[in-house]
Amino acid sequence: MSLDAVLARIDRDLDQSLERLFALLRIPSISTDPAYADNCRAAADWLAAELSGLGFSASVRPTEGHPMVVAHYPERDGTDNRVLFYGHYDVQPVDPLELWQSDPFEPRIATRDDGSKMIVARGAADDKGQLMTFVEAARAWIAETGGLPVAVTILFEGEEESGSKSLGPFLEANADELKAGAALVCDTGMWDKDTPAISTSLRGLVTEEVTVTAADKDLHSGLFGGAARNPNHVLAKILADLHDAGGRVTVPGFYEGVAELSDEVRRQWEGLDFSAEEFLGQVGLKLPAGESDRSVLEQIWARPTVEVNGMIGGYTGAGFKTVIPSKASAKVSFRLVGDQDPKTLVEAFHDFVRARIPEDCSVEFESHGASPALRIPADSPVLAKGKTALQDEWGVEPLMIGMGGSIPIVGAFRERLGMDTLLVGFGLDDDRIHSPNEKYEMSSFHKGIRSWARILGELAN
Ligand code: BES
Ligand code: ZN
């Protein structure tokens, strides 16, 4: 049977697959920092060249931001039954660099005492290792059988980690070219290293930067201290006011559109073998900090949050400076669930802040993107095929799980292209994505490739 031959080839060629992944990992495609724009372009070029080499018609498409890669196999004729695969080639910044045990852009394989291996580099899990599982699966099918079992379009984005600003306009402008029966996304995780999962919900994300200005210049706190308003204090108070003592968000209207879990989902989640102590313990914590009347799994998968991701204000360099700064700012993000409306929420947040700004101070907002939460319908046909393929590969039934993270494009696929998405990924909670020493399990990479090979086979049925 051809699937068996494809899987055997994947096993045989694993070292070459790794070499290709390493080449991609060496490109520092940090999307949020303009200094790395050329590297983002280089990663897009590299991917397009790889896909062309496989026989895809691939091109790098410029956007206002970093380019997209679009590739078809075979060339579109408008009639075929096709799937769209999405991944992102951009990565998060690497700071703090001193906490890395090796160069983030010089990938290496580390072997544990038990013989298990992991790939260590920025982007190993998020998302270069993951997107390459699909590319390598496609490679094996083409090499072994002369083609893919189902027609495929690939879309690689370079701005996922920085808000996907170009995505909406790009999808709109290229809707006919990108539209497919379903979308496949490899940017999520497994339940544990032996148990695959399909994510059926993603939280939405709103990112807002707020800047409070008090005096028209920085002041000496010996001269003005006591009389002049300190914007650090104003902002800190506002940020502290965002939660009540029970961990609930206090912005008026915040919980509108947030549904309670259905009995079925609640039962299913309660049946999962999840330990809050272990989950927090792996990062050196033990006290759940969210809404005190919710389980930890509910907190991370099904409840909306507000987080302060960064605070800037006053003197933060070495030594000390007795300054009353003129400005203070914070980067604040909201994770959304259910039907919470990003626009309404942004307004409510602005009102909340404005109401707390003293008369002689001012506030400005800068939006870095807003996307709603998403649920994948349980009866979607691709979901059933994904389940079968994953069960065959891993020998255990895949779990249907929620995902606390956000992937802005998945909502856009539904809204702009009317497509359902299959969210299958092989990341683990301890992969340290966005953190120093990011890693991807070798088993995730290897069995991830095999899983996609099987899913492609299933999709042809
Ligand atoms: N791969 C992640 C999303 C994710 C996180 C999936 C955790 C599963 C578990 C994705 O690349 C990501 O980090 N997204 C950002 C979105 C953003 C910067 C616009 C996020 O969720 O913060
Ligand atoms: Zn990602």
Q: Which of 303, 329, 165 is nearest to 231 (CA)?
A: 329
In contact, 159 and 165? CB cutoff 8 Å:
yes
Can you give the pLDDT at residue 80? 76
Residue 368's CB: how many other CB atoms inside 10 A?
A: 16
Give the pLDDT band of residue 99 (cuts 50, 70, 90): very high
Nearest Cα residue to atom 4 of ligand 1: 405
In angstroms, the CA 2 to CA 145 distance is: 7
Can you give the pLDDT at residue 81? 85
Please check whether residues 230 and 253 belong to one and the same domain: yes
List, for residues 438-450, the tens digit of each pLDDT value. 999 999 999 999 9
In a domain, 294, yes or no: no
Mean pLDDT of 353-377: 94
In angstroms, the CA 427 to CA 375 distance is: 20
Domain count, the chain: 2
Can you give the pLDDT at residue 87? 98
Give the pLDDT band of residue 457 (cuts 50, 70, 90): very high
Q: From the centroid of its chain, how far is CA 306?
A: 17
Can you give the pLDDT at residue 171? 94
Give the pLDDT band of residue 379 (cuts 50, 70, 90): confident
Which one of 306, 407, 409 would you pick to mutate in the ligand 1 pocket, going by the greatest count of ligand atoms within 8 A of its CB? Answer: 407
Structure tokens at 147: 């083609």
Distances (CA, A) of 307 to 132, 208, 246, 262, 357: 32, 11, 15, 26, 20
Question: Taking the alpha carbons of 10, 13, 16, 18 in that order, is the dihedral positive or negative?
Answer: positive
Please check whether residues 398 and 428 belong to one and the same domain: yes
Nearest Cα residue to atom 5 of ligand 1: 405
List, for residues 63-74, the tens digit of each pLDDT value. 999 999 999 999
Q: Is 353 in the pocket of ligand 1 (CB under 6 A)?
A: no
Please check whether residues 23 and 155 belong to one and the same domain: yes
Question: Taking the alpha carbons of 17, 21, 24, 29 in that order, is the dihedral positive or negative?
Answer: positive
Please check whether residues 27 and 164 belong to one and the same domain: yes
Can you give the pLDDT at residue 376? 86
Residue 449's CB: how many other CB atoms inside 10 A?
A: 28
Query: What's the N-to-C CA distance of the chain in angstroms?
Result: 14
In angstroms, the CA 348 to CA 338 distance is: 17
Q: Is 438 in the pocket of ligand 1 (CB under 6 A)?
A: no
Nearest Cα residue to atom 18 of ligand 1: 161
Mean of the per-residue pLDDT values of the chain: 96
Please check whether residues 165 and 78 belong to one and the same domain: yes
Domain with residue 386: its CATH number is 3.40.630.10
In a domain, 43, yes or no: yes
Q: Is the pLDDT of residue 339 over 80?
A: yes
* End-of-domain residue from the set 316, 342, 371: 371
In angstroms, the CA 346 to CA 335 distance is: 12
**How large is the angle between the packed helices 14-25 and 442-460, nearest 10 degrees?**
110
362-371 and 204-213: which strand pairing? antiparallel
Q: Is 187 in the pocket of ligand 1 (CB under 6 A)?
A: yes
**Locus of tokens 């292209």:** 417
Structure tokens at 382: 């691709």
Question: Between the CA atoms of 47, 419, 72 and 160, what dihedral angle is there, to the nearest 10 degrees?
Answer: -20
For residue 392, is the peptide bond before it cis, meaning its omega torsion is within 30 degrees of 0?
Answer: no
Please check whether residues 349 and 429 belong to one and the same domain: no
List, for residues 233-270, the tens digit of each pLDDT value. 999 999 999 999 999 999 999 999 999 988 988 898 88
In a domain, 292, yes or no: no
Nearest Cα residue to atom 14 of ligand 1: 406
Please check whether residues 233 and 131 belong to one and the same domain: no
* End-of-domain residue from the set 331, 351, 371: 371
Can you give the pLDDT at residue 268? 84
In a domain, 429, yes or no: yes
In a domain, 99, yes or no: yes
Question: Among 285-289, 372-376, 388-392, 448-452, whose mean pLDDT is lowest?
Answer: 372-376
Please check whether residues 151 and 208 belong to one and the same domain: no
Q: Which of 116, 118, 314, 123 is nearest to 219 (CA)?
A: 314
Please check whether residues 83 and 12 belong to one and the same domain: yes
Structure tokens at 168: 């909406």
Domain with residue 229: its CATH number is 3.30.70.360
In a domain, 194, yes or no: yes
In the reported structure, the alpha carbon of residue 121 is separated from the centroid of ligand 2 by a whole-number distance in angstroms of: 14
In a domain, 275, yes or no: no
In angstroms, the CA 322 to CA 104 distance is: 37
DSSP, res 258: P
Q: Is the pLDDT of residue 411 over 90?
A: no
In the reported structure, the alpha carbon of residue 406 is separated from the centroid of ligand 1 by a whole-number distance in angstroms of: 5
pLDDT over 70, % of the chain: 100
In angstroms, the CA 188 to CA 198 distance is: 8
Q: Is 189 in the pocket of ligand 1 (CB under 6 A)?
A: yes
* End-of-domain residue from the set 344, 371, 398: 371
Structure tokens at 109: 């394989």
DSSP string, 188-229: SB-SBTTB-EEEEEE-EEEEEEEEEE-SSS-EEHHHHTTTS-
H helix runs in 282-325, sequence order: 296-301
Give the pLDDT band of residue 424 (cuts 50, 70, 90): very high
Residue 74's CB: how many other CB atoms inside 10 A?
A: 14
197-202 and 374-375: which strand pairing? antiparallel
Q: Is the pLDDT of residue 14 over 90?
A: yes
Please check whether residues 163 and 235 belong to one and the same domain: no
Give the pLDDT band of residue 175 (cuts 50, 70, 90): very high
In the reported structure, the alpha carbon of residue 88 is separated from the centroid of ligand 2 by a whole-number distance in angstroms of: 7
Please check whether residues 29 and 66 belong to one and the same domain: yes
Q: Which atom of ligand 1 is nearest to the CA of 369?
A: 19
In angstroms, the CA 136 to CA 143 distance is: 10
In a domain, 266, yes or no: no
Q: Which atom of ligand 1 is nearest to the CA of 88?
A: 11
Cα 215-218-220 angle, rounded to 5 deg: 105
In contact, 39 and 28? CB cutoff 8 Å:
yes
Please check whether residues 164 and 48 belong to one and the same domain: yes
In contact, 68 and 41? CB cutoff 8 Å:
no
Q: Is 159 in the pocket of ligand 1 (CB under 6 A)?
A: no
Can you give the pLDDT at residue 55? 98
Nearest Cα residue to atom 3 of ligand 1: 405
pLDDT over 90, % of the chain: 88
The amino acid sitting at 424 is V
List, for residues 113-160, the tens digit of each pLDDT value. 999 999 999 999 999 999 999 999 999 999 999 999 999 999 999 999
Q: Is the pLDDT of residue 1 over 80?
A: no
Give the pLDDT band of residue 186 (cuts 50, 70, 90): very high
Query: Which structural domain range is residue 336 located in?
Result: 204-258+304-371
Can you give the pLDDT at residue 265? 84
